[in-house]
């Protein structure tokens, strides 16, 4: 196994980290761009107001859940009275794929979504924010992230070493990682669950902001998890940590 190249600032060869950041940014960024382009390229006013369920398939065909009125159900709306039925299987393969992914992962409620060219987008504004934040962080990781053996140390590698040295002296780096994740995810959780459990209704501006924060820290955690690779080192001494800290394997 080859020993990683060590640069003057203590960083190691970043080929893997750069590739992870680039690939994740490409995937999320591609879908983000397509959720705008597909309704723009689709015939004007041909995609109606939708109202489905998260993590379910609701609009695959004209006989799917979202298109069939059922007075006993608590979610959704009468699709025939909201612009007519919709089936992404009737679209071309690329457009259908974009709306299928949205159908499976997003509730697609029209009042929480944007329209482009008179067509409702495949995901809600919160998900647009999540995709945007995720993509932005992955691009940042491509240039700054480092493999430092453990997920927590790899996670913190995006921060300047001199700003986090004190957390290595008192070994609070796991707490720092959890705090950052909480700060990013909590606003979305509070906004979403308050909306779910009370009469409060959020706004699309708030959904974009909270989604972006959440997507940013989720992208951060994903990049760190994929890049924390102990097998890239022959021994722990090769891992360069702030404050000259050393990894110890018990």
Q: Is residue 183 part of a domain?
A: yes
Q: Is residue 249 part of a domain?
A: no
Give 206's contacts (C-beta < 8 A, 6+ positions apart): 191
Q: Is residue 110 part of a domain?
A: yes
Instruction: Spell 55-67 as b/e; 16+ CB within 10 A means b.
Output: eeebbbeeebbbb
Q: Is residue 143 part of a domain?
A: yes
Quote the number of domains for the chain.
Answer: 1
Q: Is residue 1 part of a domain?
A: no
pLDDT tens for the chain, 250 residues long, are 344 444 433 445 778 999 999 999 999 999 999 999 999 999 999 999 999 999 999 999 999 999 987 755 667 888 888 889 999 999 999 999 999 999 999 999 999 999 999 999 999 999 999 999 999 999 999 999 999 999 999 999 999 998 999 998 888 999 999 999 999 999 999 998 898 778 888 899 999 999 999 999 999 999 999 999 888 888 888 888 888 877 777 6
Q: Is residue 3 part of a domain?
A: no
Q: How far apart are CA 88 and CA 207, in angstroms?
A: 25
Q: Is residue 117 part of a domain?
A: yes
Alpha-carbon Rg of the chain, whole angstroms?
Answer: 22
Instruction: Spell 160-183 as b/e; 16+ CB within 10 A means b.
Output: ebeebeebbeeeebeebbeebbee
Backbone angles phi, psi at 189, to 5 degrees: -65, -45
Q: How far apart are CA 165 and CA 144, in angstroms?
A: 17
> Domain of 92?
15-244
CA distances to 56, 152, 165, 218 from 181, in Å: 27, 11, 19, 8
Q: Is residue 7 part of a domain?
A: no
CA distances to 28, 128, 150 from 146, in Å: 21, 28, 11
């Amino acid at each position: 196994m080859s020993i990683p190249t060590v640069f003057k600032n203590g960083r190691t060869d970043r080929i893997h980290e750069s590739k992870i950041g680039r690939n994740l940014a490409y995937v999320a960024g591609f879908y983000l761009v397509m959720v705008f382009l597909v309704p723009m390229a689709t015939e004007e006013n041909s995609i109606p107001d939708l109202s489905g369920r998260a993590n379910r398939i609701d609009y695959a065909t004209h006989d799917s859940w979202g298109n069939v009125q059922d007075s006993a159900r608590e979610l959704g709306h009468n699709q025939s009275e909201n612009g007519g039925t919709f089936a992404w299987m009737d679209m071309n393969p690329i457009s259908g794929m974009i709306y299928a992914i949205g159908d499976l992962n997003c509730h697609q409620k029209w009042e929480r979504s944007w329209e482009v060219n008179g067509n409702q987008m495949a995901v809600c504004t919160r998900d647009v924010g999540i995709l945007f934040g995720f993509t932005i962080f992955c691009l940042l990781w491509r240039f700054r992230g480092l493999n430092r053996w453990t997920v927590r140390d790899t996670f913190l590698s995006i921060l300047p070493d001199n700003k986090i040295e004190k957390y290595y002296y008192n070994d609070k780096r796991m707490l720092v990682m959890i705090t950052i994740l909480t700060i990013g995810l909590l606003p979305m959780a509070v906004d979403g669950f308050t909306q779910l459990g009370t009469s409060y209704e959020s706004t699309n501006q708030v959904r974009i902001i909270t989604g972006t924060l959440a997507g940013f820290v989720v992208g951060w955690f994903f990049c760190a998890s994929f890049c924390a690779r102990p097998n890239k080192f022959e021994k722990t001494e090769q891992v360069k940590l702030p404050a000259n800290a050393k990894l110890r394997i018990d």
